[in-house]
Amino acid sequence: MEALHMKVVMRFLILFLVCSTFVYAAPLPEVPAKGMVTVVDLGAKTCIPCKMMVPVLDAMEKEYKGRASVIFIDVRENPDQATKFGIRSIPTQIFFNKDGEEVYRHEGFLDQKPFDEMMKKILAE
């Protein structure tokens, strides 16, 4: 009887985990954002250089709120996005102009100053 009870509990847990992944998985934002300068940072929450990007992304998101979209996509959680954007290493930042055209791509950590300079250049176009 105990073995049967354990089987039922295990099946329930597996079903719960599978269902909760689909229910609680956040949808990915549209990249590039329509009619807006967009930067997508493709990385992983567990990668050291990717973690170093967090304060830069946060600062740029605040600085350009309403004028540009700054998006992070975890490619370990969303491996199809790595293929979609042709990612060879992480982190990778891809800058799009307001027409949705890729205008710049950088692989590796990107410090705030060159990030900011690129944003200003694209927004000025």
Rounded Cα–Cα distance for residues 123 and 78 (Å): 29
50 annotated active-site: yes
Q: Which residue has the tokens 């290493």?
A: 89
User: Considering only CA atoms, which of 64, 68, 42 is closest in space to residue 53?
Assistant: 42
Q: Which residue has the tokens 């990778």?
A: 92
| Strands of the sheet with 68-74, listed across from one edge | 68-74, 37-43, 92-96, 102-107
**From 40, 50, 60, 122, active-site residue:** 50
47 annotated active-site: yes
- Give per-residue burial for 81-111: e unless 16+ CB within 10 Å, then b: bbeebebeebbbbbbbbbeeeeeeebeeebe
**From 28, 47, 59, 103, active-site residue:** 47
Q: Which residues are marked as active site? A: 47, 50
